[in-house]
Amino acid sequence: MHELRMGVALFLLLMLLPGLARAWRGPTLTDRILVIQLFGTCGVAVLLLLGGDREAAALRNVALVFAVLAAVTVIAFVRFAPSEDVR
Amino acid sequence: MSLVDWTLDGVLAALLPLIAWGVVTAASLDKAIMLFIVLGFVSALAWARLDAIDVALVEAAVGSGLTGALLLSALPAIQPRLRRPSSLARRAGVGALLAGITIWLGVTTLRLPARSGGLAELVCENIEQSGALHPITAVLLDFRGYDTLIEVAVLLVASLAVRAVQRPRLRPGRRGEPTSEPLASFLNLLVPASIVIAGFLVWEGSHAPGGAFQAGSILAGCGVSLQLTGERPALRMTLRVRAALVLGLAVFVALAGAPLLRGHDLLDYPRPWAGPLVFALELALTVSIAVILVTFFPGAPDRPEPPARAADSP
């Protein structure tokens, strides 16, 4: 079971690489903020998978924090981004 | 450690310097900020893999979430003032200085004894004497309570400094434009959930990873969201807010100083009550840290007035 969970976590992590490329190239701020949301969601999933082991159950708390605070960044983006970037 | 574990760690280890390079070399500020937030996420995952769950919690809460929002809120103020890139000589100088510091740190790290037990054993042996069952909380609030006390004071001073330099245009007391429907219903979910999770994390702090800093930053995130969306006007320095700002430090100083009156050492909590005292201290610190972090953020930015509706005009 541990192997399977780690395998899925690795898969999710690899799926972030195309997202990272998008964050790198942009071109607009909106593209990048969407990537950050992707990282937030994927991060929650990876943490939950890592926390599947009995001794690492506290990682679920980290996942909770991730989930709650990823939203703050988006709200800040909507409020403060230069308006020509929001399309 | 199986192959999958190795690959997982390998991908994380490769991603970290790659993203860090992207942050440093980004051509525009907004790209640097975005990659910095991504860096926070990835390093939280890396700390989680290293079983440093307390560090992962703080990195997730402060490193990526709040810092990202803070940097974004500073963007409109900094962006227009960006000048052309500095001269080659200056860049070379700064580069050499930083390289020197890095090499110095590296050499110092290599000189450390390869195997030192650290203080972990000592902490675990004496944890019965502290007011907490979780070693990290025991160190932060009891064994090395002095450091945490000063940290809280530093946070308070930082909050005062922010208020001193905040531009009047972004001063508190103004509301932004009305919240849109999806955002409003999202906030209706986010705010109660944040409060419950923050309470849970303070409670967890006494026996597991968690504690005042993490809980405070979650509450702060919730406060910042309300402030940025214009649901609530930015904090005004009312008596209640001032009281909340100093509450944590005041309780800490009182708890630290009280043993002196009875002839004990500073921060030497009376043993039978150490547990409840440390928990009360954590609660007070949570409130103060949350309010202090919220004061770092400007209120909702000015937006052009929405055009008056036709029905309103005569």
Tens digit of each residue's pLDDT (9 = 90 or more) over B45-77: 999 888 888 888 888 888 777 888 888 888 777
Cβ atoms B298, B234 nearer than 8 A: yes
From CA B163, how far away is CA A26, in angstroms rounded? 34
Residue type, B101: I
B94 belongs to a structural domain: no
> Tokens for B84?
């052309």
Residues 34-73 of chain A whose Cβ lies under 8 A from any Cβ of chain B: 35-36, 39-40, 43, 46-47, 50, 56, 58-59, 61-62, 64-66, 68-73
Q: Which domain holds residue B34?
A: 1-76
Closest chain A residue by Cα to residue B60: A66
Residue B192 belongs to some domain of the structure: yes
| DSSP type of residue B296 | T
pLDDT at B100: 96
In a domain, B221, yes or no: yes
Pairwise CB contact (< 8 Å): B75 & A81 = yes
**Is B145 in the same domain as B45?**
no
Residue B91 included in any domain: no
Phi, psi of B132 (to 5 degrees): -140, 155
pLDDT at position B288, please?
A: 92
Using the 3D structure, point to which of B76, B95, B114 is the last residue of a domain: B76
Same domain, residue pair B39 and B152? no
Contacts A–B by Cβ distance under 8 A: 167
Where among B76, B92, B114 does a domain terminate?
Answer: B76
Identify whether residues B165 and B289 lie together within a single domain.
yes
Q: CB A29 to CB B176 under 8 A?
A: no
Q: Per the omega criterion (within 30 degrees of 0), is the bond before B314 cis?
A: no
- How large a percentage of chain B has pLDDT more than 90? 11
Residues B145 and B243 in one domain: yes
Task: Check residue B118 and report its DSSP letter.
Answer: T
* Per-residue pLDDT, B172: 45
Q: How many domains does chain B have?
A: 2
Asked if the interface predicted TM-score (ipTM) of this complex is over 0.90, the answer is: no
Nearest to B120 by CA among B135, B133, B103, B131: B135
Q: What confidence tens digit (pLDDT) does each residue in B82-102 have? A: 666 678 888 899 999 999 999
d(CA A78, CA B26): 22
Report yes or no on B108 lying in a domain: no
What's the residue count for chain B? 314
**Cα–Cα separations (whole angstroms), residue B248 to B213, B278, B288:** 11, 12, 5
pLDDT tens, residue order, chain B (314 aa) = 688 888 888 989 999 999 999 888 887 888 888 888 889 889 999 998 888 888 888 888 887 778 888 888 887 777 766 666 678 888 899 999 999 999 999 999 888 877 766 777 777 777 777 767 777 777 777 777 788 888 889 999 998 888 887 765 544 444 455 567 777 888 888 889 989 999 998 888 777 777 888 888 899 888 888 887 777 777 777 888 888 888 988 988 888 888 788 777 777 777 777 778 888 888 999 999 999 988 887 765 554 444 444 444 33
pLDDT of B299 = 64
Same structural domain, B197 and B297: yes
In three-state secondary structure terms, B22 is helix
| A61 vs B4, B194, B209: nearest CB | B209
- Rounded to whole angstroms, the Cα distance separating B46 from A13 reads 12
Confidence band, pLDDT 50/70/90 cuts, at residue A83: low
Q: Are residues B153 and B65 in the same domain?
A: no
Query: Do B142 and B32 share a structural domain?
Result: no
pLDDT at residue B104 in the model: 95
Q: Is A86 on the interface with B (CB under 8 A)?
A: no
- In a domain, residue B198? The reply is yes
Is B96 within the bounds of a domain? no
Report CA Rg, chain B: 23
Domain boundary among B76, B92, B111: B76
- How far apart CA B170 and CA B119 sit, in angstroms, is 46
Closest partner residue to A79 (CB to CB) among B44, B209, B301 is B301
Position B12 in a domain: yes
Query: CA-to-CA distance for B120 and B135, rounded, in angstroms?
Result: 8
Instruction: Identify which of B39, B176, B170 has the alpha carbon closest to the alpha carbon of residue A39.
Output: B39
